[in-house]
Amino acid sequence: MRCLVTSARPYDQQFLSAANNGRHELVFTETTLNAETAFIAQGYPALCPFVDDTLDAKTLEIIARLGTKLLVLRSTGFNHVDIPAAEKQDITVMRVRDYSPCAVAEYAVGLMLTLNRHLHKAYNRVRDGNFLLDGLLGFDMHGKTVGIVGTGKIGAALARILHGMGCHLLAYDITPNPDCQELGVAYVSLEELLTKSRIVSLHLPLLPETRHLMNAERFALMPNGAMLINTSRGPLIDTTALIAALKSRHLGAVGLDVYEEEADLYFKDHCDDIICDDSFERLLTFPNVIITGHQAFFTSEALTTIARTTIQNLDDYSDGKDNPNCVRSKG
Ligand code: NAD
């Protein structure tokens, strides 16, 4: 099948070409897909977008007119696609349902440990010849209460790691995960989890009902000095309320791999640009905030699985086979 891979970076080309092995005609472009750039879909029955592409109703209407019938997403999350609008345009949407949840869970632990033990500061200090320990005091993770919000594949992988570190685990999810219950994870209300957890890690999908899940009222429930980690989706957090909770010194540390307005920034080099997002720039000024550019998924194992599943999705669609990776608005 002829497929245009949008927002493509060199690593996408490397892993997808290896998985494809010449079966489909893959064309790679760095262009990010949105209503303004949708004309690039001309001549491609399939598109392979990433999370920074915007597949809203307008873009979908244009690409449908240009002949696109299939979207094979290189991601688990599909909040960047208007699924009812895709159905209206008769465009099939497939995703990578499951790829190395450990990659994201391990990264979340990395953020926790970096913030807790101030590794980001220690790295620079030692390079400057400063071996003072003042300001680098951390706490044992062992015995601390960590709240996991969302215990699907990634949240459950995180629970397994933190269980091994001797943490006391609380969780909130509309559907409790029996694997987590077996580990001894206690399911509680979101309010109880926020009140009792020293560290909170977010692993819910972005849905209308989870947008700004973390707002001023919920930050106020967290203990003074608590740590918040978000490796899920930026809009789960109300950024304005987050900045207020940091300025008042209520939150003790924040690790963000995702950011509410990341679409205009992430996956591109802005070294020589003036970044006009004042909230993002304000977040960067806090010594107790670490921000990374949506890289939690970025391991060779994850990229291999994403590429293989994407090619399998193209194969199944071409062969008219049923595929569990189809995304539908109902079920
Ligand atoms: P999953 O579908 O396995 O788990 C999601 C969990 O959220 C499920 O247990 C579900 O019951 C729960 N849930 C859904 N809606 C809820 C609600 N309204 N209230 C309470 N619980 C709710 O997903 P996953 O594979 O664990 O991934 C979680 C999220 O992580 C993805 O949606 C994606 O946004 C994000 N992600 C980020 C990266 C990254 O690189 N930073 C990589 C992969 C995934």
* One domain, residues 250 and 286: yes
Structural domain boundaries enclosing 46: 2-99+300-319
Number of Cβ within a 10 Å radius of residue 177: 20
Mean pLDDT value across residues 101-109: 97
Among 296, 107, 179, 209, smallest CA distance to 169 is for 179
| Catalytic residue chosen out of the listed positions 198, 262, 281, 282 | 262
Decide: 56 and 82 in contact? Cβ < 8 Å.
yes
> Is 23 one of the catalytic residues?
no
* One domain, residues 194 and 106: yes
**Beta bridge mates, 256:** 230, 291
How is 84-143 classified by DSSP, letter by letter? HHHHHTT-EEE----S-HHHHHHHHHHHHHHHHHTHHHHHHHHHTT----TT-----STT
| Catalytic residue chosen out of the listed positions 211, 294, 301, 328 | 294
* One domain, residues 154 and 23: no
* One domain, residues 224 and 275: yes
Instruction: Please state the φ and ψ torsions of residue 31, each to the nearest 5 degrees.
Output: -60, 135
Alpha carbon dihedral 173, 179, 181, 183, in 10-degree steps, equals -130
* One domain, residues 188 and 236: yes
* One domain, residues 95 and 117: no
Per-residue pLDDT for 274 more than 80?
yes
Question: Which structure tokens are listed for 102?
Answer: 């450990």
For the packed helices 101-117 and 300-318, what is the interaxial angle rounded to 10 degrees?
150
- The pTM for the full model equals 0.94
* One domain, residues 95 and 108: no
CATH number for the domain spanning 48: value is 3.40.50.720
Average pLDDT over the chain reads 97
Q: Which amino acid is at 251?
A: L
Q: Give the pLDDT confidence score for residue 20 in this predicted structure.
A: 97
* One domain, residues 232 and 85: no
- When divided into structural domains, the chain yields a total of 2
**Token pair 């509680």: residue:** 188
* One domain, residues 129 and 88: no
Question: Which structure tokens are listed for 228?
Answer: 């918040």
Decide: 71 and 328 in contact? Cβ < 8 Å.
no
For 61-90, what is each residue's pLDDT tens digit?
A: 999 999 999 999 999 889 999 999 999 999
**Residue to probe by mutation, ligand 1, list 73, 154, 161, 325, most atoms within 8 Å of CB:** 154
Mean pLDDT value across residues 12-36: 96
Among 141, 137, 134, 133, smallest CA distance to 113 is for 141
**Cα 152 to middle of ligand 1, angstroms:** 6
pLDDT band at 100 (very low <50, low <70, confident <90, very high): confident
For 291-309, what is each residue's pLDDT tens digit?
A: 999 999 999 999 999 999 9
